[in-house]
Amino acid sequence: MAIGIKEQLRLAALHSYHVLDTRPEPFFDDMVRDLARVARVPISLISLVDADRQWFKARTGLSATETERRISFCTFAVERDEDFLIVPDAARDPRFADSPLVTGAPHIRFYAGRVLKTPLGQNIGTINIIDTRPRQELSESIKDRMTAYSQQIIATFDRHRADRIFTEARRTSQGNDPAGGARQYIGGARSLR
């Protein structure tokens, strides 16, 4: 099945970070643990939405490392043009009521996801909190924390990508000029303007 240009660009942005299927990192694990504690929920995740799955870069309260994209709440979040997706009671929401994530384990009732938006505007995933009980509200302080964390996640992904590009450029540099490859990369980027 063909996918649209917007989805192609979104997937290209996600894949450019080379973060899928990487090892857990304490920096991200600490975020989801803190968010679960402050929001008083059993589950918090950093979810990245790939072509056919959502993969969890960090998780607390859930043993699974990924789920099918077609049943993920995060898919709805990344396909919207809003920063948050909040579902007060998934069992009463027609989009989610029949989902195996609602009717079975982990028995999601409340979901709040803050989109992870790249600097170019692609929504690649969410940082989210999940409860097994319905909730009517999400406090502004929790929203602010989720927003701050989402920005830190993207900034960290961007730094890792820049480090990887620099390292690759250094490896391919010629002669005794260790920054030659990086200058070549930067010069090539400037010529595209």
CATH code of the domain covering residue 140: 3.30.450.40
Find residue 68's DSSP bridge partners.
53
d(CA 82, CA 112): 12
Residue 123 included in any domain: yes
Identify which of 117, 163, 156, 130 has the alpha carbon closest to the alpha carbon of residue 27: 156
Residue 41 included in any domain: yes
Token pair, residue 30, equals 């600490």
Residue 26 included in any domain: yes
Residue 186 included in any domain: no
d(CA 15, CA 168): 17
Is the CB of residue 78 less than 8 Å from the CB of residue 10?
Answer: yes
Identify which of 120, 104, 126 has the alpha carbon closest to the alpha carbon of residue 31: 126
Residue 181 included in any domain: no
Encode the chain (193 residues) as per-residue pLDDT tens digits.
578 999 999 999 999 999 999 999 999 999 999 999 999 999 999 999 999 999 999 999 999 999 999 999 999 999 998 999 999 999 999 999 999 999 999 999 999 999 999 999 999 999 999 999 999 889 999 999 999 999 999 999 999 999 988 888 888 875 445 555 444 444 444 433 3
Q: Which domain holds residue 110?
A: 5-154
Residue 57 included in any domain: yes
Residue 187 included in any domain: no
Token pair, residue 58, equals 């960090």
What is the rounded radius of gyration, in angstroms, for the C-alpha atoms of the chain? Answer: 19
Residues 6+ apart with CB under 8 A from 173: 179, 180, 181, 182, 184
Q: In total, how many domains does the chain have?
A: 1
Residue 87 included in any domain: yes
